Amino acid sequence: MRSSSSTPHSDGLPGTPGPVILDTLTLMGQFRLGVVIFDTELRVVCANAAAERPGAGIPATGWAGRRLGEVLPHIDAGPVEQSLRRVLATGEPVTDLAVSSRADGDPSGERFWSCVQFRIGGPDDKPAGVAHMMREVTERARSQHRLTLAGEASARIGTTLDTTRTAEELLEVTIPRLADAGAVDLLATVIKGDRLAQHEHDQKMRLRRAAVKWPTDRPPRPAYLRHAWIETDPARLYHQRLVAGWPVYLPAFGAMTTEQIRELDSGAGLNRMMAARRAGVHSLMTVPLIARGIIMGVVVLYRLGGSEPFTPADLSLARDLISRAAVSLDNARLYTRERGTALALQRSLLPRRIPEVPGLQLACRYVPAEATAEVGGDWFDVIPLPDDRCALTVGDVTGHDMSAASLMGQLRTATRTLATFDHLTPSEILTRLNLIATDLTSDETSATCVYAVHDPRTGDWDIARAGHPLPAIARPGHKTAFPDLPSGLPLGTGLGDGKYQTTRLHVPPGSTLVLYTDGLIEDPATCISAGMTHLACTLTTLTTRPVTQACDTLLATLAPNPADDIAILMART
C-alpha cells in the first residue's frame, strides 16, 4: 500500500479517500461513530469528525499521513496500534477493544471507548489497510465501575458491628480504587453509641479521627494524625457545608493559597489540611456520612501527586458509596448503644460485689457474649448463712433476650429468699426453684443451676445441680477432678419433683472449687467433653495462683472471644 500522499484511487482503496470510503465516513458520522482508516504502516488515510471526540490535537481533516498518537494525544496509542498490527497480520477482526482517554482540563474526567477493528482488502486480496471505529461507552463503563464498587462495598463494609472497624473497611474499599488516601472522622455521639440529634448551624461539632489510610510509601506527617479530637468552627465553610449535608469539593486544592484554606476551617481542622497538603495532596473532597437524615461524621478523600484531580463523576461515586457505608456505621452505632444498655441491665441484676466469707478466697467473673447486643441469663451469687457458712450458686437461663434477663433476676431473688430458710438442703432449694421457674417460664424456656453450701468448720460442701455442668475441683499436685453428682432436670421443666439430690464432698484445704456456665466449655467446633478436658488441664496449672488471677487466665485461655455469656465463681478453701 502506498502512503497517504499517493495518487487517488477511484475505487476507494487507500490513498486519498475514494468515494466508497467517503460515503462510509459520512454514514458513520451520522451515528456519531468515530472512524479512522490506516494504511499498512498505520498512518492515517482519513477520518471523520466524530473521531476527534477523545480529544484531538488537530482537526480530523489534517490527520492524513500522521500516526494515532500524534492526532489523539490523550489516548494510549501503544495498545491500539499493537492491536491494529495484529489485525493486519491475521485478518481476524477485533470487536470490543477497551480504550480510555483523559483530555487536559476536561472536568468530566476519564472517558471510555469501545473499538472495532478490521482489515481492508486491496487488489489481489492483499491487505491494503485497517479500519478503526470508536464508540463512546463512558456512562456504561462508569455504571459498571459503580456497580462493581457498590457490590464490593456491600460485601466488605459492615462485617462487624464495630464503628471503628466499619470506618476502616470503608477506606479499604475506596482506596486506591477512588482515592489515594483518606480518613474517616466520626461524631463523639456515634463512637459512644449515643442517640443522634440534628446539629444547628451555630453549634460546634466534635469529631474524632476513627480511621486513616495512606500509601505505605508516602505516610502522612505526624501533624495530620496528632489531633485525636477536633471541633468545627461554625463560622467556617467546612462546618456550614457539613451541617447542611453538602460535600466540600476541591479538585485544585494544591493550588489554593493559605488564606483560601483558612476560610474553610480553623484550629485543628486547618492544621490537618495544611499537613495533608505538605504530604502531597493536590485534590480533596469531603463527603458527610448521613444516615436517616442525621449527620454522623465525614469522609475525607485525597489525590496525591502523580494522580489526576478528582472530577464531578468521582464525587458522585463517592457520595453513593459513602451513603451505603453510612447505613452500616449507623447499625454499628445502634449496636453499641443497645449493647451498652443490655450490659448495664445485666450487671444491675448481678451482685455489685461478693461478700467476704470465713474460710474461702472468692473470685467471680461475668463476660457477655461478643456476638450479641441482647442480655443473657447467666448469673452467680454468694449468700452468707448462719454459723459462718455460705451458699454459692451459678445459673443459666436459656436464650438472649429481655425474658431471659427477667427470669434470671427473679430466680436469683428467689434463691436468696429460699436460702434464708436455713433448714433447706440444696436439693430442696432446687426443688422449690423448679416450681417457681415452672410458673414463670414458657414451654421454650428453662434454666440450669448448681447450688453449693460450704461449712468452714468441717471443710465439707453440700452440692446439688439442676441440669448444670459439673463443678471442677483443682488441688495442687493433683489432676483436676469433676465430682460425680446427679444431674437433675433443668428448672422450669413443669415437673413437680425434679429429683434433685444433695451430695456431700470433703474438699481438702488449698483446693479450688470452680462453678461456671456452659459458655466456658462449649465450642461449636468441638464436643463438650473436649471443652471439659481443656478446662481441667488449664485449672491444673492455676492451683497456686491467686483466685482473681486464676479467673482471668481461665477466661483468656478457654474463651478469648466468647460466643455465649459466661459466669464463673471460684472458691479456694
Residues 471-509 have pLDDT tens digits of 999 999 999 999 999 998 999 876 656 689 999 999 999
- Residue spans of alpha helices (H) in 420-522: 426-440
3-state secondary structure 373-429: CCCCEEEEEEEECCCCCEEEEEEEECCCCHHHHHHHHHHHHHHHHHHCCCCCCHHHH
* Residue that is written with C-alpha cell 462546618 in the block: 239
- Kindly indicate the confidence band of residue 450, based on its pLDDT and cuts at 50, 70 and 90: very high
pLDDT of residue 279: 85
pLDDT of 262 > 60? The answer is yes
In this structure, CATH architecture of domain 19-136: 2-Layer Sandwich (3.30)
Q: How confident is the model at residue 15 (pLDDT cuts 50, 70, 90)?
A: very low
Asked whether the predicted pLDDT for residue 114 surpasses 50, the reply is yes
Cα distances (Å, whole numbers) of residue 239 to 136, 243, 297: 40, 6, 11
pLDDT of 526 over the 80 cut: no
Topology given in CATH for the domain delimited by 141-341: Beta-Lactamase (3.30.450)
Single-letter code of the amino acid located at 42: L
Mean per-residue pLDDT for 244-251?
A: 91
Q: Which helix (H) or strand (E) holds 123?
A: none
Residue 437 has pLDDT above 70, yes or no: yes
Query: What is the DSSP-derived secondary structure letter of residue 49?
Result: G
How far apart are alpha carbons 185 and 327 in whole angstroms?
16
Answer with the residue of higher pLDDT: 105 or 503: 503
**Residue 352 scores a pLDDT above 70:** yes
Q: Which CATH class is domain 350-572?
A: alpha beta
CB 91 within 8 A of CB 83: no
CB 429 within 8 A of CB 415: yes
Task: Give the span between the Cα atoms of 203 and 118, in whole angstroms.
Answer: 65
Mean pLDDT computed over 250-259? 91
Region 405-431: mean pLDDT is: 89
Sorting pLDDT into bands at 50, 70 and 90, what band is 201? low
pLDDT at 8: 35
In this predicted structure, the answer to whether residue 348 has a pLDDT above a threshold of 90 is: no
Query: What are the residue boundaries of the structural domains of the chain, listed by start?
Result: 19-136, 141-341, 350-572
Is this structure's pTM higher than 0.75?
no
- CA-CA distances (angstroms) from residue 123 to 20, 120, 127, 300, 341? 15, 10, 8, 62, 86
| Structure confidence at residue 30 (pLDDT) | 53
Topology alike, domains 141-341 and 350-572: no
Q: Which residues contact 306 (CB under 8 A, 6 or more apart)?
A: none
Q: 472-474 and 127-136: which strand pairing?
A: unpaired
Measured distance CA(500)–CA(250) in Å, rounded: 75
pLDDT of residue 373 exceeding 60, the answer is no
Query: What distance, in Å, lies between the first and last C-alpha atoms of the chain?
Result: 104
* SS3 label, residue 50: helix
- Please report, to the nearest 10 degrees, the dihedral formed by the alpha carbons of residues 375, 516, 362, 505 taken in order: 150
For residue 137, the model assigns a pLDDT of 86
pLDDT value at residue 37 = 93
117-173 pLDDT per residue, tens: 999 988 777 888 999 999 888 888 777 777 777 777 777 787 777 888 888 999 998
| Mean pLDDT lowest among 55-64, 175-184, 311-320, 345-354 | 345-354
Q: How many CB atoms lie within 10 A of CB 557?
A: 15
How far apart, in whole angstroms, are the C-alpha atoms of residue 470 and residue 518?
Answer: 10
Contact 520, 558 (CB under 8 A): yes
Whether the Cβ atoms of residue 547 and residue 392 lie closer than 8 Å to each other:
no
Given a cut of 90, whether residue 328 has pLDDT beyond it is: no
Q: How far is CA 567 from the centre of its chain?
A: 29
Which range (19-28, 40-49, 414-423, 430-439) has the least confidence? 19-28
CA distance 326 to 330: 6
pLDDT score recorded for residue 140: 83
Question: Using CA atoms, how far apart are residues 485 and 504, in angstroms rounded to an integer?
Answer: 10
Distances from the Cα of 333 to the Cαs of 170, 188, 338, in angstroms?
15, 11, 9
